[in-house]
Amino acid sequence: MDRGEILGLYEWAIGVCFRCATANTATTHLGEIDPPAGDHYDIRACEKCLVELEEERRRYAERTGREYTPGQLGRCEL
């Protein structure tokens, strides 16, 4: 699966990347932090970081003998 196919599995909107702090870039929603006291915080990742996170998941799955399915970030434990 190439980069374009992986990116196509997610929905994109302009936002700030939680990982590299790039703002006003295409980001996808991965999760949220909603502390009882404090600001609601959306966790979003840019295209570059999303691809890197997917690559990490793929390598982790290979190491541990698990099945890797792309497109699952934000839909299960990171």
Q: Nearest 10 degrees: CA dihedral of 27, 28, 30, 36?
A: 70
Decide whether 43 or 49 has the Cβ nearer to Zn ion: 49
Decide whether 51 or 70 has the Cβ nearer to Zn ion: 51
What letter would DSSP give residue 15?
E
Q: Which of residues 1-60 bind Zn ion (CB under 5 A)?
A: 17, 19-20, 46, 49
As measured in angstroms, the least distance from the Cβ of 39 to Zn ion is 20
- Over its C-alpha atoms, the chain yields an Rg (Å, rounded) of 13
Residues lying near Zn ion in the complex (CB under 5 A) are found at 17, 19-20, 46, 49
